[in-house]
Structure 1
Amino acid sequence: MALRTLFFPALAMAAVVLLSNWLVQYTINEWLTWGAFSYPLAFLVTDVCNRLLGARAARRVALVGFVFGLASSALLAPMRIAAASGSAFLVSQLLDISVFNRLRQKSWWQAPFIGSCVASVIDTAIFFNIAFGGTGENWLQLGAGDLSVKLAMAVLLLPAYRQLILKLGAMPAPASAA
């Protein structure tokens, strides 16, 4: 597969990781950081890439996003945030790709929704433990709030996923309600 085919998905992934690493440093309240709203877009990028180009391409996009995100995050975020993000990102993205791929033949919404939910749980556990464990922050509370938003975003991003897939021609249009 040509690298230029993966350029825009990899760029989108790197941008989401960078933005999320910066935003996670800012709390909204004792339950939530701003990063909870941007990070689920990484699963959207992975899932669209997986549906359109396959699991191998999605893994490549995740790896490019990981490398770029880790390198740029190390410059813009504290090292603990960069390390936590890199670890959580790589594990959760590869898990999302695997779950999605196993469910790819199910109803259009099951693969992206279930993959994102399962991966979000693992991502949250890894990230908040490494990023905030031992800092005095109530990371279990922050993690619970973060996970709640990620799970809600998994639902809210389904229409965007469906429209992207329909627009790019990888999924049959729904039957008309005639």
Structure 2
Amino acid sequence: MTRAHIPGILAMAAVVVASNILVQFLLGQWLTWGAFTYPIAFLVTDLMNRVYGPGPARKVVLAGFLVGVACSFVGTQIQGDFGPLVTLRIAIGSGLAFLTAQLLDVSIFDRLREGRWWRAPLASTLVGSTVDTAIFFTVAFSGALTLLEPTNDVSWAGEMLPLLGVGPAVPLWVSLAVADWLVKLSLALVALVPFRVIASWALSRPQAA
């Protein structure tokens, strides 16, 4: 890790902290504001990977994971209307999803880096985002994993409702996951613009690897 990598570390830390705060604020029936900031983590990882390679990108992911763990710990100490802001299941799901998805993103990006400029960031982000959503919502809210935290009542998340209010009846947490996933996929496309601009600028600098 060199001084040149510090902006990536700070950017990842800022995204993780902001997302942990904004996830507490609802946006409509299915989303929180954190759904719109968290996907930026994939942009940060992909930029680090493109400019500096997979090694530094993984170190930035690790830094983000450690910041996330710290945020989760703080959240467990803050009492909301229904208990701690962050439960054990949410902490486990968040950490596991972040680390797995981001490392998968780094690996896929590295394998596709020699193709068209958009292939690596788009494919790695789409796969990483899908895995991230699946792991987090399953671990945090699925009734099948109650044993992870028996004292945490997540029965509300299992209420059967139409998917996103219009589809077949599914557990509430599935609608939450699908809405979150759709936002991630949309932002993966939007992020191609800043990825192209920032990566081109960074690689044009003499010190870029």
TM-score, normalised to structure 2, is 0.76
- Report the AA paired with residue 13 of structure 2: A
1:113 equivalent among 122, 125, 129: 122
Counterpart of 1:154?
188
Counterpart of 1:133?
142
Percent of residue pairs identical: 48
Asked if structure 2 preserves the Cα contact closer than 8 Å seen for 1:48 and 1:161, the reply is yes
Tell me, in whole angstroms, the C-alpha distance in 1 between the residues paired with 2:107 and 2:41.
15
Asked if structure 2 preserves the Cα contact closer than 8 Å seen for 1:27 and 1:34, the reply is yes
Shift of 1:108: 0.6
- Report the AA paired with residue 92 of structure 1: A
Shift of 1:170: 5.3
Q: Confirm or deny that 1:17 pairs with 2:16.
A: yes
Structure 1 residues 46-85: aligned runs within 5 Å: 46-76=45-75, 77-79=85-87, 80-85=89-94
Asked if structure 2 preserves the Cα contact closer than 8 Å seen for 1:51 and 1:170, the reply is no
**Greater gyration radius:** 2
Counterpart of 1:142?
176
Aligned-partner SS, 1:30: coil
- Report the AA paired with residue 21 of structure 2: W
Asked if structure 1 preserves the Cα contact closer than 8 Å seen for 2:46 and 2:57, the reply is yes
Q: Confirm or deny that 1:100 pairs with 2:134.
A: no
Deviating more after overlay: 126-135 vs 151-160:
126-135
Tell me, in whole angstroms, the C-alpha distance in 1 between the residues paired with 2:28 and 2:132.
20
Shift of 1:22: 2.4
Tell me, in whole angstroms, the C-alpha distance in 2 between the residues paired with 1:170 and 1:103.
21
Shift of 1:129: 1.6
Counterpart of 1:174?
none
Tell me, in whole angstroms, the C-alpha distance in 1 between the residues paired with 2:32 and 2:141.
12
Tell me, in whole angstroms, the C-alpha distance in 1 between the residues paired with 2:54 and 2:72.
26
- Report the AA paired with residue 142 of structure 2: G
Shift of 1:148: 0.2
Deviations 1:102-138 (A, max 9, x none): 1101111110011000000000011112223341121
Counterpart of 2:198?
164
Asked if structure 1 preserves the Cα contact closer than 8 Å seen for 2:133 and 2:181, the reply is yes
Taking CA–CA contacts closer than 8 Å with sequence separation of 6 or more, which of the two structures ends up with the larger relative contact order?
Answer: 1
User: Which residues of structure 2 form unaligned runs of 5+?
Assistant: 76-84, 144-153, 158-171
Aligned-partner SS, 1:169: helix
Counterpart of 2:161?
none
Tell me, in whole angstroms, the C-alpha distance in 2 between the residues paired with 1:30 and 1:132.
17
User: Which residues of structure 1 form unaligned runs of 5+?
Assistant: 172-178
Tell me, in whole angstroms, the C-alpha distance in 1 between the residues paired with 2:202 and 2:43.
14
Asked if structure 2 preserves the Cα contact closer than 8 Å seen for 1:91 and 1:123, the reply is yes
